[in-house]
Each structure stands twice: as C-alpha cells, then as structure tokens.
Amino acid sequence: MTEQTLLVILCILAAVCLLLLVVLLLRKPAQSAATDLTRLEEGLRRLEEKTDAIGSMSDFNARAMENLSRATENRLNNIQSRLAEDFKYIVDANAHNLERIRRTVDDKLSASLDGKLTESYRQISERLEKMYRSVGEMKGLADNVADIRRVFTNVKLRGTWGETQLDALLGQMLAPNQYRASVKLNPLDNSLVDFAIFLPAKDGETVCLPVDSKFPVEEYQRLVEAGERGDKEAEERARKNLERAVKVQADSIAKKYILPPVTTDFAVMYLPMEALYAEVLKMPGLSDFLQMRRVMVCGPTNFGALLSTLQIGFKTAAIERRSGELRTMLTSFRAEFIKFSELLEKTSKKLQEAQDTIESASKKTHTIGRKLDSFRDPDTPAQLPPDGEDDEGNA
C-alpha cells in the first residue's frame, strides 16, 4: 500500500469518528456528556495508536517497495547485459556460418553447374523425344480407333468381328472336333448358324448346340450417348429400341436354329460386349421373353463359364464311353477265360489218358520180356533186368 492510500484511509476514519461523536452528542442528554466525553477521548486515543501503527507500517512498506524496486532494477540490468552479450555472440556466429555456407555454395556451384546443366539438357531432350514418340503412338491409336469405328459402322464387318471373337473363345476352350463354324442345320433352309457345338447324346450320337453372334451396336450407342447427355426421354427410347432389336434377333434364332432332335431344345445368342450384355440383363421382362423363346443370352465372361461346363460334360461322356468299352472288354475276356478253362480241363483229361496208356503199354512190355526170357539159350547167362523193372512188372 502507498502513502497516499494510507492517508486517504486515515482521513476517512477521522471523518467517521467525528460523525459518530456528533451523533452521540446530539442523542445523549447533558448528564451523560462527561461519560461520553471520556469514552470519546478513549476512542481518540486508540485511534491515534492505530494511526501510529498504520503509519509505521506504511513506512515499512515504503522501504520494502524501494528495496524491491532497486533489486528488480539491478536484475533487469543484469539480464539486459547478458542478453546483449548473447545476441552479439549469436550474430557473430551466424555471420561466420553464413560466410562459410556462401563459400561452400560458391565452390559447389562453380564445380558442378556445367555438369548439371548438361545433364538437365540431356534429360529434357530425352523427354521431348519420348513425348514425340508418345504423340506418334497417340496418332496411331487414333487411327486404330477410327478403324474400329468403321468396323462398328459396317454391319458385315461388325458381324465378322463378333464371329472372330466367338471363334477365339471356342478355340481356347474346346477341341477342334467338338465344334464347327457356319453349319447348315435345316436342309430346307439356306441359313447358316455361326457355330455349332457337338454335344454327346445317350445313344452315342451327337446333338448340335447352335451359337449365333449378334451385335446391335447402333441402339446401344444411342443409349450410351443419351445417358451421357442426361436425356432421360432419349435414353428410354433407345432402351426400348435395343430391347426390340434383341427380341427380333431372338425370334430369328429360335425359328431358324432350334430344330430338335438335330439340335438341342435351346440356342445361345452371343453378345460380344460385356456392357451390352449387362444392359440387356437389366431390361425388365426380357429374360422371360428369351426363356419362352428358349434362347440363352451370353456375354464373353459367362460364355466362357458355359464352355467350361460343357468341357466337364465332354469329359464325363468320355469317361462313360470308356467305361462301357472296358465293361465290354471285361465281358469278352470272361467268356474267353471260361473257354480257356474248359480247354485246359480237356487237355488235363487227355494227358491223364495218355499217361494211363503209357503205363499200360509199359506193363505189357515187361510181360512180353519175361515170356521171351523163358525161351532164351541155356548157355547164355541170364540178364538181370534194370533196377525197378522187376518191381514194376510185379506190380
């Protein structure tokens, strides 16, 4: 607290005491004035004591504030001097480092600037050359796209492209003897189906699965362009036209190529684009129509899956055919083995008969020999028969 604040407080206390004194004098009667005066003097004395204490406290606070201010000033001076010295040291160190960095940069720039510029020019030249080659490739790609557009515009070339893609898939998945191109199924009609897959039947014959490629690209292109423009009306109209074209092609395939028992009771319509196949699948009611016409629509992916399934069927039929041949061969072998057993039994009997005949002839030979011995010359010594002959003769 400052001296001015203490003086203000003392003045306020004095004014309050005087005000209380006046009030007491006005309210008290005359006989109690002496007592009040005594109390007042006692109060004034205490007030003076408190005022003296406050004054001494004020002097102490003033001295403390002065000491604190002096110490703070000394510390600030010390800090300022230290900061000045540190700042000077940092400035000198930065100047020295900057000078060293400048000399290093100058040396490196002077040593490698020419090499870097040469390398940069070389890289720029290579990139420009690559860019020129890329531009040439883009031109070639643009020409190829134009050729593809011309292929899709020409109906005959478009059909050839679909047949070529279908031929490639069949060549990858099936053996050459399992399918054939441009097959005439109906002798009364000159129409040729693009491909016919030969499926094995139960009686050993083969049944043709007709596969025909269709590519209604005009309707599909109109549908895509309308979708890109955001024209809902044109998109719906193009979708209806595409659905109508698919139905017309399905009717044509069903009438020309589904001819049981020469063919299967269904045919395959191949669409050479996955996006076109997906768009056809999204059309409501079209799947039911195709099922009624017994026409299966396939894109490149699920047609490959169909060919994989047919491969399993071909393998199963081959296994069944080989099993039948093995069964026939085992039956024939069993009959031959029975004949061989009978022949072996007959041979055994014949051998037994021959052995019995030889034994009978041997007995007769010994008997004749003994009879001849009874007519031999007396001067001729008797010849002993070989070992065992006597026994055999006796037997």
How far apart, in whole angstroms, are the C-alpha atoms of residue 220 and residue 249? 15
> Distances from the Cα of 374 to the Cαs of 366, 380, 381, 393, 395, in angstroms?
13, 12, 12, 15, 19
Convert the pLDDT of each residue in 168-202 to its tens digit.
Answer: 888 888 888 888 988 888 888 888 888 999 888 76
Q: How far is CA 206 from the centre of its chain?
A: 40
Residues in contact with 187: Cβ distance below 8 Å, sequence separation at least 6, in sequence order = none
Give which of 187, 179, 251 is closest to 210, Cα–Cα: 179
Instruction: State the average pLDDT over residues 98-125.
Output: 77
SS3 (DSSP) at 344: helix
- For the stretch 354-389, what's the b/e string if a residue is b when 16 or more beta carbons lie within 10 angstroms of its beta carbon? eeeeeeeeeeeebeeeeeeeeeeeeeeeeeeeeeee
- Whole-structure pTM value: 0.45
389 pLDDT tier (thresholds 50, 70, 90): very low
How far apart, in whole angstroms, are the C-alpha atoms of residue 274 and residue 319? 35
> Distances from the Cα of 190 to the Cαs of 155, 193, 330, in angstroms?
20, 10, 47
- Provide the edge-to-edge strand list for the sheet that holds 179-183: 179-183, 193-200, 206-213, 267-270, 295-298
Residue type, 91: V
CB 298 within 8 A of CB 271: yes
Q: How far is CA 259 from the centre of its chain?
A: 43
Instruction: State the average pLDDT over residues 106-125.
Output: 74
251 pLDDT tier (thresholds 50, 70, 90): very high
Residue 33 pLDDT > 70, yes or no? no
What's residue 123's pLDDT?
Answer: 83
31 pLDDT tier (thresholds 50, 70, 90): very low
Give strand pairing partners of 113: none
* Tokens read off for 22: 């006046």
* Tokens read off for 126: 């290579």
DSSP assignments along 30-78, one per residue: GGGHHHHHHHHHHHHHHHHHHHHHHHHHHHHHHHHHHHHHHHHHHHHHH
* Tokens read off for 92: 């000198």
* Mean per-residue pLDDT of the chain: 77
DSSP assignments along 288-304, one per residue: HHHHHTTEEEE-HHHHH
How far apart, in whole angstroms, are the C-alpha atoms of residue 122 and residue 110? 20
Convert the pLDDT of each residue in 286-332 to its tens digit.
Answer: 888 998 999 999 988 888 888 888 887 777 766 666 666 666 776 77
What's residue 358's pLDDT?
Answer: 84
CB atoms within 10 A of CB 125: 10
Residue 26 pLDDT > 60, yes or no? yes
Pick from 55-69, 143-157, 209-223 the range whose average pLDDT is largest.
209-223
How far apart, in whole angstroms, are the C-alpha atoms of residue 208 and residue 200? 9
What's residue 3's pLDDT?
Answer: 60
